[in-house]
Amino acid sequence: MFDDFATFDLTVTGDDETVGIHGVRGGDGPPVLLLHGYPQTHALWHRIGPELARTHTVVCPDLRGYGGSGRPAEREDHAGYSFRAMAADQVAVMGELGFDEFAVIGHDRGARVTHRMALDHPSVVTRAGVLDIMPTEYVYSHVDRRLATAYYHWFFYLQPAPVPENLIAGDPIGYLHTLLGGWGGAGLDIHPEEARKDYERAFADPDVRHAMLEDYRAAVSVDLGLDAESARAGERVSCPLLVLWGGAGVVGGGEDDPLDVWRTYAADLGLVRGRALDGAGHFLVDERPDETLEEIRRFLDAHPLSDS
């Protein structure tokens, strides 16, 4: 995977602590940061990243706690795994690599990091893409039977440690496979074997699994608090925003159109564009890599950034 990309392991100080971030970098041109989600690693981008690298500098890291990146000690308030902390990590990584401003595209948890990054670092994020999510605050304030059934893990994972950790430990790889094959997807086989093995290596580590669960615990506590603070302060996404979701998945299955929802979180309605990928589930980067790549390219081309 990632032929002609260079591997990096950087120690950065993001929000308020130092953490090691593992990832790969390739290509030349305007910088683009690609962020994976749960339960994956940067390997998610192994098909799209090299294609984008034909015209861009592409950076694909593991989020803190995930894959080969560091796992800071947990805190009582879970703030060490907040989206703010994760966003600050990646801004610091891009700074270390020489980029003071850049585009960022995230899927799943990486998309939530992208949203927080756009709010916390508006002078750095030139354009943002969120793949297959609704805003965190919106999700928790619109829970119904449909959503609770599909997103059961959101409520399972926030239970106090080590209850979820111990239950998952009974068959971690089997459980991982149910996740990768779910949420409206076409089954486990949509994930190429080499990438799937990378996910399995990470998920087999109980420390990685615990860190992933800390991410979810942070979301329902510190992250919701930060979202409320941003709302009171009138903070909105001020850069162009791409919204993509799987047409057969959970995100577009409710009463509200994802584009309409995201426009309420943007500084201007005209900043938001996107669509559903018909027939795709949650893991649209794996299930529809060519279509996803085309949409990302079109978005970046419409809002070009010169090399920095």
Which residues does the annotation mark as catalytic?
Answer: 108, 282
Characterize 249-286 residue by residue with b for buried, 16 or more Cβ atoms within 10 angstroms of its Cβ, and e for exposed: bbbbebeeebbebbbebbeeeebbbbebbeebbbbbbb
Token code pair at residue 20: 């090691």
Please tell me the chain's helix, strand, coil percentages from 3-state DSSP, rounded to the nearest 5: 45, 20, 35
CB 34 within 8 A of CB 105: yes
CB 71 within 8 A of CB 202: no
Beta-carbon contacts of residue 242 (< 8 Å; ≥ 6 apart): 105, 127, 128, 129, 130, 273, 274, 295, 296, 299
102-107/125-131 β-pairing: parallel
CB 39 within 8 A of CB 110: no
Cα 29 to Cα 54: distance, rounded to the nearest angstrom: 8
Cα 294 to Cα 3: distance, rounded to the nearest angstrom: 21
